[in-house]
Amino acid sequence: MLDKKLILKIYEGFSIQRWNDLIRPFEIVEMDKAAEKMIAAYIIGKYEESSGNQIDWTWMIYASIFDLLKKIALCDIKSPVQRLIKNRYPEEYVKLNEWVLNQYRDMIDQDLAERFSEYLGLNGGENEKSESTVRASRVMRAAHKFSSLRELDMMSPVNEEQRLTKIRKDVNEDMQEYLDLKGLQLLLTHQLPFDFLMMVERLRFQIRWNQTPRVPKTSVLGHSFFVAVMTFLLIRESGVKMCAKRIFNDFFSALFHDLPEAVTRDIISPVKQATENLPSIVKQLEDEIVQSELVPLMDKSYADEVIYFS
């Protein structure tokens, strides 16, 4: 049974503030970063598939959850500091990862714990990965760096350039090894996928149920990733053996389920049901607006799939 403590722990992702040593024009929280990273990974991964390369999407889904769990456990240690510990004190870094895993042992099942342990590199030597898994890992790292760059871009107008110069230089330097990925190239050069992601980013600024105060506040984008994680954990709990495609469909359907709100904003259920015919009218208008404003920004390789998900 899915442990309530794990659900509440994952929910802490809405409380973790990012870049809290810089001037921030809006709330920048870890759950939103996790969501945008996974959407960027979807875009980059889809371009890889279009080029004939296989992607291990199941590994990527697990990795997105483990990344968030690790961030929640280590939120007080900045990423650059973690990297220094890893490079200069590798034995201590292993102990730190063991500590992370131990924070969740009483909340997760044995299979999830073993996968988490392997992801953290605690299995006494990493198992050999398939080409599709290695490629998924590279896509995730590229998406991670790009989503960090997007946050820097959004903070640029309110921060003096000298505050961001070194950070931006480091992020750009880290991305060099992933520039062979076509999807990343298109995002960095502000081509069609970038325009689509810009529309998706609107969901970062929309607070769910804005007439009902929530603590912490949750954006539509962060909520979408939270629902995707819960969906994945619940299908694991169902006991039904699911193929990789079913896992992929369930996770990304949850991740994209509120995508129309990028162009319509959130219309809460009580308002949608104000009249007998309003629900069907709203649905029809949503479909029309999505077709006219969102679909033209999607590559043909994934447009139909994203519309199916949303």
What is the domain partition of the chain in residue ranges?
4-259+294-309
The secondary structure of residue 126, as a DSSP letter, is: P
Q: What is the 3-state secondary structure (H, E, C) of 16-73?
A: CECCCCCCCCCCCEHHHHHHHHHHHHHHHHHHHHHCCCCCCHHHHHHHHHHHHHHHHH
Cis peptide before 216 (omega within 30 of 0): yes
The pLDDT value given to residue 277: 65
Q: Cβ–Cβ contacts within 10 Å for residue 20, how many?
A: 9
- Alpha-carbon distance of 241 to 235, in angstroms, equals 9
Is-contact 142 61, C-beta < 8 A? no
Topology of domain 4-259+294-309 in CATH is Hypothetical protein af1432 (1.10.3210)
- Per-residue pLDDT of the chain (310 residues), as tens digits, is 788 999 999 999 999 999 999 999 999 999 999 999 999 999 999 999 999 999 999 999 999 999 999 999 998 888 888 889 999 999 999 999 999 999 999 999 999 999 999 999 887 555 678 999 999 999 999 999 999 999 999 999 999 999 999 999 999 999 999 999 999 999 999 999 999 999 999 999 998 876 667 778 899 999 999 999 999 999 998 888 889 999 999 999 999 999 988 887 766 666 555 566 677 777 777 778 888 888 899 999 999 999 999 8
Task: Map residue 219 onto helix, strand or coil.
Answer: strand
